[in-house]
Structure 1
Amino acid sequence: MDDFFNFMPMLRVLDSSSNRNLEELPVGIAKLVSLEHLNLSWTGIKKLPVELKALAKLKYLNLNWTEDLKMIPQQLISSFSKLQVLKMEGCGYGCLLVLEEMEHLKYLNVLTLTFKSASELEKASRFNKFFSCAIECVELLHFRDSRSLNIMALAKLQHLCTLILWNCMDLEEVKIERNIIEGAGCFNSLRSVSVVECNHLRDVSWITFAPHLEVLWIYECNGLEEIISEEKLGEVTELKGNLNLFSKLERLLLEDLPELKTIYHHALPFPQLKEVSIRGCPMLKKLPLNSNSAKGQRLIIEGEKGWWKDVEWEDESTQIAFLPTFKPR
């Protein structure tokens, strides 16, 4: 492998992604002095060699889902002075350990991170530069130390586009506070939210304050009873109209939610909605739709035939409007 690098000093892009057999990088990689783009995502890499410091022109480093990565030498990340993109979602090495080094990367503008505890997230929020500028994707994974999450730690991320809550089995509540609603620019960049295997959550009402949300996927949350709790919202703000709920939503995916009874208690316009997928939600009998919902859109509603047969409609005109949209799965 080192001989291979001898012939490639001008190489600018090296993509080794999805190679699970790749467990270490040869020291010869230091010869790739022109390298600007290095993708190691979904590999079996266990450590990064200190020789990577020779890659002075590196602008893009992808370590997403390198779950076996346990060692990154100190000052390695900060040595990439031209780095613009750093992806560490699902990385086995704690991103908190390198977050301080990132403050020296003056060109960094895209950052993806995973936090495995509420205390990690709280500590990371003290790094104001990245919690206002660079973070594009955050995954909260496994959270085992907290029953409650204060959403303020995430609401102030100006460029947060994707938020994933995955297997946070102890999490019971995501707190909504009045200062979130009153704060300017709250979740304005958030486009995609995924909530997976968070069995103690009862609702995800906080997504109300993501006005530009396009994709919402909720999967295998056994205790989830409603998507938007009108009661919970009423505790922190006076509900005015429908708060422009889901005005940008294009895809709503609800799967294996045995206790889900309500998406929202009132019909909503859904002006951008294109796809609704409902599977394994036997208690969900009514959709927040009326004859004016999704008007002019080519909407597809996927679900089981048995579930669709039992849907309770607002009125006959609503039923007539949406019957042609159904696609059995």
Structure 2
Amino acid sequence: MSNQIEEISCCPECPNLSTLFLGENSLKVIPGKFFQFMKALVVLDLSHNGFLKESSEEICRLTSLQYLNLSHTGISLLSVGLKGLRKLISLDLEFTDVESIDGIGTSLPKLQVLKLYRSFFYIDARSIEELQLLEHLKILTGNVKDAIMLESIQRVERLASCVQRLRIFTISAKVLTLNTAALGGLRELEIIVSRISEIKIYWKSKEKEDLLCNSSPCFKHLSSTVIYDLEGSKELTWLLFAPNLKKLQVRSSRSLEEIINKEKGISISNVHPDLTVPFAKLQSLSLWGLPELKRICPTPPALPSLRKFVVEKCPKLPLESFRDTNRNNEVDE
């Protein structure tokens, strides 16, 4: 890795090679003959080769391959050869130009991990059907730019439960509903360049009704939330349903007046007393370009875990009381 390799012209004979890392180079093309004598290869990492635009058709020669990382490359199409990797368990296409996953459900039947976050692929009705063909899928990352499609994903709870990293992009909706039961595995959430008046939390599940009776209706695994250019929302009280949040970044959201609204916070805590204290595990808080933001919480929050606090271009946000409340923390500002 990181060897500044620009070209591969050899045809190595490596019949026992099981792992190959070629990431963080400057590869543009990998000749098909390169894979000719690597029958035992299980792991192949080609990530961070930004000039690599396509995968060789001969990659199908890697009949033992189970883990393939193509993230941060310029690949835009899934080649026929790639779809011939019948033993593939994990495929990472994050930060690529891939726009379609047509045929992946039948071509890669053993796939357990499929990462598409920040690729050019957006989940639609056709791809939801395709993804449901992956019977062994356990981890899914991806993007959605249609509120109806987001609702559709959440209705297929076997699929929604696999989602660990989700990017909501350019969605326009009066109300956007997130289901904590369906998206129970969510770890990272981005809401980018969207127009949403209100974000609501729903926690009922037909499939998991018995399990939810004695549990909190929250995103237990959600640790990172990034909100950028969100218009229409005046508050983000729904974040109370993310009690284990460690990173919160809110930027360029001109209508936002407060993070936690007092009345909505009380109504939530009345029903769910264990969701009363906001941001108890928050380590990093970044607020930027929020001209109407007046408060983070009704009373200055005590953030015992906070280590990084950045505020810029928030002229109406008073910080003195916040600093007084958290003066015992070692916080970088």
> When the two structures are superposed, what TM-score results if normalisation uses the length of structure 1?
0.80
The aligned runs of 1:85-234 (5 Å cut-off) are 85-96=113-124, 97-132=126-161, 134-144=162-172, 146-152=173-179, 154=180, 156-168=182-194, 170-176=195-201, 184-234=216-266
CA contact (8 A) 1:269 1:294 kept: no
2:100 paired residue number = 71
CA displacement, residues 273-323 of structure 1 (integer Å, 9 cap, x when unaligned): 11111112121113663756474x4222x1xxxxxxxxxxxxxxxxxxxxx
1:82 paired residue number = 110
Q: How many Å apart are 1:25 and its aligned residue?
A: 1.9
CA displacement, residues 116-175 of structure 1 (integer Å, 9 cap, x when unaligned): 11011011122121223x21111111113x2321233x553121111110111x212113
Check 1:110–1:72 CA distance in 2 against 1; reply closer, same or farther (3 A cut).
closer
Cα distance between partner residues in 2 of 1:16 and 1:196: 30
CA contact (8 A) 1:219 1:255 kept: yes
Structure 1: 5+ residue runs without aligned partners? 303-329
Query: For this pair of structures, how many residues does the alignment match?
Result: 294
Q: How many Å apart are 1:51 and its aligned residue?
A: 2.5
SS for the counterpart of 2:248 is strand
One-letter amino acid of the structure 2 residue matched with residue 7 of structure 1: F
Q: How many Å apart are 1:178 and its aligned residue?
A: 9.1
User: Comparing 200-209 with 36-45, which one deviates more in the overlay?
Assistant: 36-45
Q: How many Å apart are 1:261 and its aligned residue?
A: 1.2
Structure 2: 5+ residue runs without aligned partners? 1-30, 206-211
One-letter amino acid of the structure 2 residue matched with residue 136 of structure 1: Q
1:38 paired residue number = 68
Root-mean-square deviation over aligned CA pairs: 2.7
Cα distance between partner residues in 2 of 1:287 and 1:252: 16
CA contact (8 A) 1:49 1:73 kept: no
Task: Give the fraction of aligned pairs with identical amino acids, expressed as a percent.
Answer: 33
Cα distance between partner residues in 2 of 1:71 and 1:250: 37
CA contact (8 A) 1:272 1:294 kept: no
